[in-house]
Chain A
């Protein structure tokens, strides 16, 4: 039998025997960023479509979670940096070819926008809220007047935020598993699904819950479609990408991916949401928690499996 044995003298920490330079921080941020993107996207979309009163939770209440999610995500990102005190270097330059630079600048836009949007609606949650200072009241009045422009900025920057988290991975052709442009739309869809799930959870309005359950069902359908296409693409590609796909088709990530992400995170909540739409009484927390769980697992598994896929040895 012909055999090839490779012995490498390299044993650099975090690199060998297998790349493991990104731990929990990056996938956690990708989940929180995706969730924030989903929440802000729906808020902007339904505001611009004039459904502010109809879908009050989606437009006014749920987006208040976005700045919290983004702040936690930014902490995770900061913890991931190895040369932390130089993080400001991200903001001394714009590098068009670097997805991470895009991400840094997108966060610079989307985080304050999400805070302003939350500030505009804070009285819904705390009716006795008082802005105390005149300049704060004037600022709020200014944004209230320009809310439409703000909503457009929010919609666009949330879309970029949702897509870039996937593109960040797919730009690395050194990791065959990540090197597929499907990851951009897949992560966006996963973030939108998580956002819709949170709206379902928070909403007390039947019509709103119904609309977001329908939306979530549709998005889960799109996610399944994208996942199938991702594997079709891999299997029709080069040997390294076939090897990468095999991590999920019999390899070590098979059970967690198909079990946690696809079955528990997509198919089961889709069935439960479908049953609810048909009139069955199902505790809403179950499909919501499952969708969020699937969304987190997707990021963790793609991040870890991607680092395990390689060209050379």
Chain B
């Protein structure tokens, strides 16, 4: 099992509903976020193109954060989801500096926090909060090893990219372009 998420940059309107849903669902402290929206405007005026991306932890297959963690607090969980065990984390920030996506932050309580792909919901057969709440239905979540999962089907059909694949992290967050 390999959980992954695909996000349609053509359908995303950048409303940040995913951000708010995540903050509510996961009790993310005020002033912090586990997912966020990036707007990239590219081109020569007036021929401009906008790409909207809802970004979060990439749950990489070759995670630098898991590799550099001195205590094993950062680890791979079910389906390759990268998690942090609170009471094993010493807050040394090595994982934060090792993440090329800057997806992690220090929780005010001291441990390092990040997106969990809402594993607690996924275990109950539900979708991650950000996916469930998206008003344009631009996010797909599922198992890459299951050819009938939504994410596998949409990745087969659509052109897609990952962020900085050259960092060698094998990210599991795909952007449909």
- Within 8 Å of chain B (Cβ to Cβ): is A95? yes
Interface contact A6-B97, CB-CB below 8 Å:
no
| Residues in A whose Cβ lies below 8 Å from that of B67 | 97-98, 171
CA distance A174 to B104 in the complex (A): 13
Given the known inter-chain contacts A9-B38, A312-B102, please indicate yes or no for A95 contacting B70, CB distance below 8 A: yes
**B122-130, B139-147, B161-169 - the one binding chain A:** B161-169
- Within 8 Å of chain B (Cβ to Cβ): is A24? no
Given the known inter-chain contacts A90-B90, A312-B102, please indicate yes or no for A7 contacting B38, CB distance below 8 A: yes
**A15-23, A31-39, A60-68, A280-288 - the one binding chain B:** A15-23
Interface contact A6-B39, CB-CB below 8 Å:
yes
Q: Which residue of A lies closest to B91 (CB)?
A: A82
| Residues in A whose Cβ lies below 8 Å from that of B70 | 90, 95, 98, 100-101, 103-104
Given the known inter-chain contacts A89-B90, A98-B94, A174-B99, please indicate yes or no for A83 contacting B72, CB distance below 8 A: no
Interface contact B100-A98, CB-CB below 8 Å:
no
Q: Report whether over half of chain A's contact residues are helix, strand or loop; otherwise say mixed.
A: loop
- Within 8 Å of chain B (Cβ to Cβ): is A128? no
CA distance A169 to B54 in the complex (A): 30
Interface contact B97-A174, CB-CB below 8 Å:
yes
| Residues in B whose Cβ lies below 8 Å from that of A81 | 90-92, 110
- Within 8 Å of chain B (Cβ to Cβ): is A225? no
- Within 8 Å of chain A (Cβ to Cβ): is B154? no
| Residues in A whose Cβ lies below 8 Å from that of B76 | none
| Residues in B whose Cβ lies below 8 Å from that of A104 | 70
**What would be 26 A-B contacts, judged by CB atoms less than 8 Å apart?**
A1-B44, A3-B41, A6-B41, A9-B33, A9-B38, A10-B55, A11-B33, A14-B105, A19-B96, A22-B93, A82-B111, A83-B90, A83-B111, A86-B87, A86-B89, A87-B90, A93-B71, A93-B72, A95-B70, A95-B72, A100-B68, A100-B70, A101-B70, A103-B70, A175-B97, A311-B167
